Structure 1
């Protein structure tokens, strides 16, 4: 008799559900596909294995944060085998479910809901490869030893069609919302939003350097449907940007990976906090000066605008409220671990000074958490927010010359952030922008709105912006230098008003964070090489053009 093997420790499967504490170590196969509880357990395991979670490395791959890891991408030092995202083990497990569930006796509605979640997961895994390599082999069924397991790469266009088809199937079988213990499962909203994201990628310059406008039309339609239908079904911008992460599964969350201490945890917050309020890990997500200077003022104008009101001696004053929700700077109030009145000092010689940039990231850092709970984090990861659906739609609209639709989205985003509308109700936006200027504005808004959420690197990549914005440059930080004896300063620091007297006590020194190399993202990095080990085990695979005499064209 055949058996389906499960780990008996699969009690809490964060992205989908809390399971009953049932020993699932050896269940007859026919029972799995005929029993809702067991089939659901299989789907829960797939969700756990396939959905994305917190990633504290992602911000290093752009101008958001100091170099910490993956520097070979930023410095142009990749080899053909550096990027290995080969998701076929997970895809096989997904295909086993999709084939086997048809043999069971589960009612059609429940079966379609389970299949809908799994179709979404397959789309996610294929998209994870396609956005890095272009076309990859499409395998729809679990392969057996009698099959021809040497499969060639499909065209990129075929892969996109396949992924979109899976998302259409997912949307057809899924509800808009789940209730009670099922809250957090994949929904119709997630499928529609993901379809919009993928078609936006496919229309973007990475995949579409010749600017085929029919792709932008398709992306616009998909994102407009997602925006409108999600809004009709209760999705909206959450009112409080700063505390978005701490009211889990609020109306802005479209797709999430759910965590729960002690069973399923992450250490993103510990990695992000300063050492004295962290545990086991620290030093990641430290904002660059370039990121800090990206935020406009509360009137929406950039700090370079003569009428913005920017004061370089108190650069934190009157900024876009997302600044203080995201950036901890020298002398700011940051009451970590519940320490009333705690200030974050980053000057040279301070006990909790930032290690490299002079700044810390405040995004998704819960000040009430002690170092233990920062290291055993249970804050959910929101992979897709309704804000992204809006901005995806706005970008497509701008590409098609529908700039007024894009203006409407940017105003909504800035209004929620707390930027003032101004006398002209433009929230600091430049008036009468053409398509090109509007796209620049949208990309800046994405940089700020999704700060430290792992979106910036992918945006730079799909828009092919590394050469224009980052190549040949270095990232910078600020080392505040205290002008007096540290002990004397700390004795009076509670009486110091840094908004008025910062330069009396400190001199900021600009430092380079890229110590040896400048940023050099190579043109062939927009589609990475397939690692040699995959080519060696499958003679039908072609290497990507631009790598090792590759012949596979990722633009077809």
Structure 2
């Protein structure tokens, strides 16, 4: 049993004991509110308790999408052509692409958790207007909290939509006496509801907060969520007839965020993910996720490396002249990592790179080589760098560094705008170029060449998203909304490196075959929910 498995077992035992204690306590409070033993009157009759109730919705409801909602051996990018997870035991990402994803086998399902969070938000929104306040500060805070409630409800429905498509729309706290057989809303009705909640939220929330309130939803977060969900709604998965007005609404919503004038790109692409206070951050998980370092460092540094970047992702990075590896005269197959887009070395670790003063050896026989014994050695020839704070270390001393998961950031908004606006026009205009080039300029990449056609610009934007947002889970959802899974999820490759004297030889090789079908563009509704709610209809392709 390796150190990773031992840690998982310890966590499982701890969780089991915690659940036993929690269940015993819960038996004594069946007639109490969801807040942990207090009645609804006590919670929503006191400003501070109401604030705590809202904080619990943030903390327990919003999932860290980068690592499968807390599942240690799962990585969203590891379930795409961006990466590979070397851990083969449950719930390895392979269930997403090996033909075993079903309504009874989906370890990253979020249906029940999302609806539990929506119920708490609905209760909060039903009670917040009657909350007594004792000062001007509490009066302002009450308005702010109401805006946060609308944002959170929109967030949870948006998360459901990107996973399952349209879902039942529940706008109030349901009682046992209600008819609980609720059919799925029309897609238009669900989207309109999310947009209305985003707009309500934006009208009530401030642009920014002082340090003590960092992490709360802002006006920009509400508008950015609106732009994201409209982009998804406009995409091929949900827009088979390519209704241009959907793209236009998505572009306009993203432009609203830009015109707030609140956000700008962080000076350093690498450091942006390791700070609590960035001009680029729109919505962020503010707790320092210390285990991110251990999860992804290479074994020579004491890490588990739960996800390895793929050769497909490596090939997607342009050369520093803005041309692809197939077009640029700068590309040398015997020195393949030189002269690349600067984000390349900020996203992944390759053979010969330095980490904390040590040269990383991924060649065969090297310290972190591809043929190393144990699951935590790379299987592709690469390790992840993007989410690792270079100020952190596991050896010789524990120094975890800073790891703040960013749910929405300004670079995504710019790329959302560019993608949507390009689909509205017959040819990309200056605003499309400006949005993409702003992202590229941050890392000193050249502007896109003028004169691109609509199709050519679409290809460049898709690739820019892949590079800029790698290992932030976007690729997982982009593959689905663009309906390209069957095209790109056929196999994943790595780079075998052998050393002969002072020379390295590079050989691309297949790590594994992949299986993908259009059915996987949406998750299956859990069978347990279908059993409870007879009005639900399963997504196509999951009725076995």
The TM-score, its normalising length taken from structure 2, stands at 0.85
Question: Which deviates more, 317-326 or 268-277?
Answer: 268-277
Q: Secondary structure at the match of 1:371?
A: coil
Is contact 1:259–1:378 with CA below 8 Å preserved after alignment?
no
Quote the Cα distance in structure 2 between the aligned partners of 1:467 and 1:147: 42
Q: 1:347 aligns with which of 334, 356, 363?
A: 363
1:93-149 superposed Cα distances (whole Å, 9 cap, x missing partner): 111111122232135532221121121111111111112222111111111122222
The reply on whether 1:509 has 2:507 as its aligned counterpart is yes
Corresponding residue for residue 9 of structure 1: none
Quote the Cα distance in structure 1 between the aligned partners of 2:535 and 2:349: 52
Deviation, 1:513, is: 1.2
Corresponding residue for residue 500 of structure 2: 483
Distance 1:101 1:376, change over 3 A: farther
Alignment of 1:186-205 (within 5 A): 186-205=217-236
Deviation, 1:356, is: 0.4
1:55-104 superposed Cα distances (whole Å, 9 cap, x missing partner): 26111121111144221322333223334321211211111111122232
Q: Secondary structure at the match of 1:284?
A: coil
1:215-269 superposed Cα distances (whole Å, 9 cap, x missing partner): 112112111112222xx23x10111112212232210000000114xxxx45222
The reply on whether 1:103 has 2:101 as its aligned counterpart is no
The reply on whether 1:286 has 2:284 as its aligned counterpart is no
Corresponding residue for residue 464 of structure 1: 483
The reply on whether 1:415 has 2:441 as its aligned counterpart is yes
Deviation, 1:3, is: 4.6
Is contact 2:305–2:384 with CA below 8 Å preserved after alignment?
no
Q: Secondary structure at the match of 2:334?
A: helix
Corresponding residue for residue 276 of structure 2: 248
Question: Which deviates more, 519-528 or 212-221?
Answer: 519-528
Deviation, 1:508, is: 2.1
Quote the Cα distance in structure 2 between the aligned partners of 1:148 and 1:376: 50
Q: Secondary structure at the match of 2:438?
A: helix
Alignment of 1:212-223 (within 5 A): 212-223=243-254
Q: 1:440 aligns with which of 452, 459, 468?
A: 459
Is contact 1:134–1:156 with CA below 8 Å preserved after alignment?
yes
Corresponding residue for residue 71 of structure 2: none
Corresponding residue for residue 277 of structure 1: 301
Q: 1:79 aligns with which of 96, 99, 102?
A: 102
Deviation, 1:435, is: 1.2
Quote the Cα distance in structure 2 between the aligned partners of 1:99 and 1:183: 25
1:431-450 superposed Cα distances (whole Å, 9 cap, x missing partner): 31111111110000000001
Q: Secondary structure at the match of 2:157?
A: helix
Q: Secondary structure at the match of 1:312?
A: coil
Name stretches of at least 5 consecutive residues in structure 2 with no aligned partner. 1-28, 68-73, 87-91, 370-376
Is contact 2:47–2:132 with CA below 8 Å preserved after alignment?
no
Deviation, 1:393, is: 0.4
Q: Secondary structure at the match of 2:442?
A: helix
Is contact 1:80–1:529 with CA below 8 Å preserved after alignment?
yes
Quote the Cα distance in structure 1 between the aligned partners of 2:500 and 2:386: 30
Q: Secondary structure at the match of 1:313?
A: coil
Corresponding residue for residue 495 of structure 1: none
Q: Secondary structure at the match of 1:542?
A: coil
Corresponding residue for residue 536 of structure 2: 541
Is contact 2:391–2:401 with CA below 8 Å preserved after alignment?
no
Quote the Cα distance in structure 2 between the aligned partners of 1:394 and 1:332: 34
Distance 1:328 1:431, change over 3 A: same
Q: Secondary structure at the match of 1:482?
A: strand
Corresponding residue for residue 488 of structure 1: none
Question: Which deviates more, 361-370 or 380-389?
Answer: 361-370
Distance 1:437 1:76, change over 3 A: farther
Q: Secondary structure at the match of 2:507?
A: strand
1:249-302 superposed Cα distances (whole Å, 9 cap, x missing partner): 210000000114xxxx452222211112235xx132211111111111112111
Q: 1:318 aligns with which of 339, 346, 371?
A: 339
Q: Secondary structure at the match of 2:491?
A: coil
Is contact 1:52–1:383 with CA below 8 Å preserved after alignment?
no
Quote the Cα distance in structure 2 between the aligned partners of 1:365 and 1:248: 15
Corresponding residue for residue 158 of structure 2: 127
The reply on whether 1:183 has 2:214 as its aligned counterpart is yes
Corresponding residue for residue 372 of structure 2: none
Q: Secondary structure at the match of 1:524?
A: helix
Is contact 1:206–1:464 with CA below 8 Å preserved after alignment?
yes
Corresponding residue for residue 17 of structure 1: none
How many residue pairs were aligned? 485
Corresponding residue for residue 386 of structure 1: 410
Quote the Cα distance in structure 2 between the aligned partners of 1:243 and 1:510: 31
Corresponding residue for residue 14 of structure 2: none
Deviation, 1:5, is: 5.3
Deviation, 1:388, is: 0.4
The reply on whether 1:57 has 2:57 as its aligned counterpart is no
Corresponding residue for residue 21 of structure 2: none
The TM-score, its normalising length taken from structure 1, stands at 0.83
Name stretches of at least 5 consecutive residues in structure 1 with no aligned partner. 7-24, 336-340, 422-426, 485-503, 550-556
